[in-house]
């Protein structure tokens, strides 16, 4: 088996009481943004919130995760499906890449269907920027429904 990939997960603080069930299920099933790890062993070395707007924990949490061996940081799907989606998500992604020299993936579990429907109606993700951001978590309808 190939070398274990170590990841950290940062969630939006508005979901701070989330137990991580959808993220961990999708990691186990290699769905959504975790599909990039099919056939690979993965270890979660950190799980925390951004610290609340405007993301004060983004300045510190990736460093701790990197000390624990993190090679990739996932910004959880909540950053893109919230109402409204996080206005800082691209800044967080770019900051973590630049300051900590870590790969950053926007997304964890597949977008649930209920969020997909309303954001489609609102046109939230119609811009090229948002289409790119949701790409790792945009799956087929059957999978989206299983994450409702």
Residue 35, C-beta contacts closer than 8 angstroms, at least 6 positions apart: 136
Q: Residue 10: name the closest of 62, 56, 53, 59 by CA.
A: 62
> Domain limits of the chain?
5-146
> Among all chains, which residue has been given the structure tokens 């274990």?
4
Calpha distance 43→86 (Å, rounded): 26
Q: Is 6 helix (H, G, I), strand (E, B) or coil?
A: strand
| pLDDT tens for the 148 residues of the chain, in order | 568 999 999 999 999 999 999 999 999 999 999 999 999 999 999 999 999 999 999 999 999 999 999 999 999 999 999 999 999 999 999 999 999 999 999 999 999 999 999 999 999 999 999 999 999 999 999 999 999 9
Q: Which pTM was predicted?
A: 0.96
Fold topology of 5-146: Rossmann fold (3.40.50)
| Cβ atoms of 97 and 103 closer than 8 Å | yes
Calpha distance 56→147 (Å, rounded): 29
Assign residue 111 a region: left if phi > 0, alpha if psi is -120 to 50, beta otherwise?
beta
Residue 94 gets which letter from DSSP?
H
């Amino acid at each position: 088996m190939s070398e274990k990939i170590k990841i950290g997960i940062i969630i939006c603080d508005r979901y701070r009481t989330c137990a991580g069930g959808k993220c961990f299920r999708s990691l186990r099933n290699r769905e959504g943004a975790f599909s990039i790890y099919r056939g690979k062993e993965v270890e979660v070395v950190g799980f925390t919130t951004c610290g609340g707007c405007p993301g004060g924990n983004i300045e510190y949490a990736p460093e701790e995760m990197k000390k624990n061996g993190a090679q990739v940081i996932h910004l959880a799907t909540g950053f893109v499906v919230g109402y409204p989606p996080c206005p800082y998500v691209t800044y967080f992604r770019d900051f973590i890449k630049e300051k900590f020299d870590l790969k950053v993936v926007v997304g964890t579990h597949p977008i649930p269907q209920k969020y997909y429907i309303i954001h489609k109606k609102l046109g939230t993700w119609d811009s090229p920027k948002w289409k790119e951001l949701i790409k790792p978590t945009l799956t087929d309808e059957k999978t989206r429904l299983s994450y409702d």
